[in-house]
Structure 1
C-alpha cells in the first residue's frame, strides 16, 4: 500500500485495492476501527473518482457494511446494504451475481436483527434465482441455502433447518469432496442444529469429524480449527463431561491468545465460555 501511494498516488485504483486488502486483514482480526478508517477512505475516493454507482464503489460500500455488521451496528450496515442492492438492481439487473450477493448481505443484516420474515424472503429469492442461473448444486447456491437454514435455526424451526443442511452437506460431499472446506462448514452447521435440539451423540460425531479433518487440512491453530474444537467442547459440556470440555476450552483459549491476540473477539468469546 505504501509503495503504491508513493509510486502511483493515493487515489490510483491499485492503491485503493491495496488499501481494501489491508482493511480486510484488519477486519478478520477484529480491528474494526482500523478497518473502518481505510474502508471509508476507499469508498469516498471511489465515489469521487468513479461515481457512486460504479461496481468497485459498490464493493467498497459492501465491505464497509460488513465491518459495521460484525460490530452489531445494524442501522449503518442496513443503510449501506440497501443502497448497494438497489443500485446493483438498476445498473446490473436483479439476477446479476453482484446484485444477488448484495441481497444476501442485506438478508444477513436482517437475520442478525431478528427480522426473520424479511431475511427469509430475500434468501429465498436469492436461492431461486441462483438455482436457475447457476444450478441447484453450485457452491453459491449451496451457500445461500445454508444462510436460509441458519435463519430457520435461529427461529427454532429445527426440521426445516435440518432438511436444508442435510441437503447442502450431501451435495457438497458429492460435488466437492468430504474434506472440502465448504463441506466441513455444512457439517458444522448441521451439528449446530442437532446440538440445539439436544441430540448430543449425533452432534458430537459430526463435530469430531470436522475437527479432525480441519486439524489435518488447516493445522491445529487455524481459526476454523479452533472454532470446531470449541464446538466439540460445548457438546461435551452439555453432556456434563466437564474435564474433557475444560481441556479443550483451555487449548482453544491459549491458541487464540497466541494467534489472534488477547483482545480479539474470538479470544474473548472462548474466555467467556
Structure 2
C-alpha cells in the first residue's frame, strides 16, 4: 500500500521485516519468499536503486521457475518485473524478450481479457516507444487502454497510467493536439485517485509541461515543472532519476527561452545525477549531453559543444541504433555545428 502511494521510506522496513520472517518461517525455497524478494525489488526499482533491485529479481525468477515450473502466472510477473528494471536502465535488448515472454505466458494462462495482459501490452509498448518504434507501440497502447477501461472502469490508476503512456507516444511523434487531452485527463485522474503528493502526479505535471514547452507555451509550462521538481525532491529525495529528468525538463524550458545562465547549472546537475544513477551509457545521459551541447552551441561555445555531441551520438548509436530518432537528431546537431566551425588554420 505504501509503495503504491509513493511512501517508500515507510514501505521499506515493512518489506525487509516480511522478507526476514518468510526466510525464518518458510525457508529460502518457498513461493512466498520469492514474492517477498520481488516486492522489495520493486520498491528499490521505484527509488532508482537498480543495482539493489536486480539480484533480488533474478533470485525471485529462479525460485519461481524451480518451485512452480515455467508456466505459472508468478513466473510471468517475475519476467515482467525484471524487464521493467532493464527498461529503466536503458537495457532495451535485454528487456524486450522478457516482456514478450511474459505477455505470451499471461495470454496463455489468464486469457486475453485480464488486467495483467493489459499491463504486459502497456509495458512492451513503452519499450517500443523508448526505441522509437512508434508504429509498433501505438496499437498495443490502444489495446491496453481499452482492456483496462473494460475490466477496471474509467476511474483506476492503471487507466491513468495507460492514458499517460499513449499521450507520451503522441508527444514523441509531435502529435500534440492528440496528446494534450490525454495528459490532462491522466493528471486529473491521478490527483483524484492518488492525491496531490504522489510521484505519478509529479510525472503527469512534468510531461504536460514538456508538451507545453514543445509548443512554445512557456508561461504554462514553467509552474508545472517547478511543482513537479519540488514534489519529486520531497517524495523521492535529491538522488533519483526522476529528479534528474525534472531538472533536465526545467533546464530545457529555460534554454528554449534563451535563459542560458539559468539553464546551464540545471543541465550540469541533471547530467551528473544521470551518470551517477544510470551509468555512463544510458540513453538519458546521451539526452543530457546533447542538450548541454545545444546550450553551448546557442552561445557560440562551439569547442565545448562538439565533444559533448560526439559523446551523445556514440551512446545513441550504440544503445538505440543509428536510425533511432534520438540518433538522427544528435547527428544532425553535430553536422550543423561543424558546418559553422571556422576552417582549421
Contact 1:20 1:39 in 2 (8 A): yes
1:112 pairs with 2:172? yes
**1:14-68 deviation line (CA, Å, top 9, x unaligned):** 443454356553793343xx75555344323322210222222111111222233
Q: How many residue pairs align between the two structures?
A: 269
Alpha carbons 2:241, 2:277 under 8 Å: kept:
no
> In the superposition, relative to structure 1, how do residues 26 and 172 fare at CA in structure 2: closer, same or farther (>3 Å)?
closer
For the residue of structure 2 that corresponds to 1:142, the secondary structure is: helix
- Aligned-pair distance for 1:192? 0.9
Query: What CA distance in whole angstroms lies between the structure 2 residues aligned with 1:252 and 1:118?
Result: 30
**Residue in structure 2 matching 1:77, options 113, 137, 160:** 137
Tell whether 2:163 aligns with 1:103: yes
User: Paired residue for 1:199?
Assistant: 259
CA distance in 2, matches of 1:257, 1:197: 26
Q: Is the 8 A contact 2:228 2:246 kept in 1?
A: yes
Asked whether the equivalents of residues 123 and 148 of structure 1 are also in contact (C-alpha less than 8 Å), the reply is yes
Task: Tell me the CA shift for residue 211 of structure 1.
Answer: 2.9
For 1:221 and 1:133, the matched residues in 2 are separated by 37
Equivalence for 1:161: 221
* Aligned match for 1:130, one of 164, 178, 190: 190
**Aligned twin of 2:204:** 144
- The residue that corresponds to 1:221 in the other structure is 280
Q: 1:59 aligns with which of 111, 119, 127?
A: 119
Residues 14-23 or 104-113, more deviating: 14-23
144, 165, 188: which one aligns with 2:248? 188
Report how far residue 146 of structure 1 moved: 1.0
Structure 1: distance between partners of 2:281 and 2:133: 27
CA distance in structure 2 between the partners assigned to 1:245 and 1:101 by the alignment: 37
Which segments of 5 or more consecutive residues in structure 1 lack a partner in the other structure? none
Residues 86-131 of structure 1, C-alpha deviations (whole Å, 9 max, x = no match)? 2212222222111211111111222233332231111111111221
User: Could you report, residue by residue, the CA deviation over 1:148-176 in whole angstroms, capped at 9, with x for unpaired residues?
Assistant: 11221222222212221122123333444
Structure 1 residues 10-49: aligned runs within 5 Å: 10-21=70-81, 23-24=83-84, 25=86, 28-31=90-93, 36=96, 38-49=98-109
Q: TM-score with structure 1 length normalisation?
A: 0.80
Instruction: Tell me the CA shift for residue 144 of structure 1.
Output: 0.7
Confirm or deny that 1:247 pairs with 2:307. Answer: yes
- Report deviation, 1:142: 0.7
CA RMSD of aligned residues (A): 3.4
Q: Is the 8 A contact 1:149 1:164 kept in 2?
A: yes
Higher relative contact order (CA 8 A, sep 6+): 2
Q: Distance in 2 between matches of 1:53 and 1:197?
A: 47
**CA distance, structure 2, for counterparts of residue 222 and residue 105 of structure 1:** 24
Q: How far, CA to CA, are the matches of 2:145 and 2:312 in structure 1?
A: 38
* 8 Å Cα contact 2:251/2:264 also seen in 1: yes
Q: Which of the two has higher C-alpha Rg?
A: 2
Give 5+ residue unaligned stretches, structure 2.
1-60, 335-345
Q: Is the 8 A contact 1:208 1:232 kept in 2?
A: yes
The CA deviation at 1:189 is 0.2
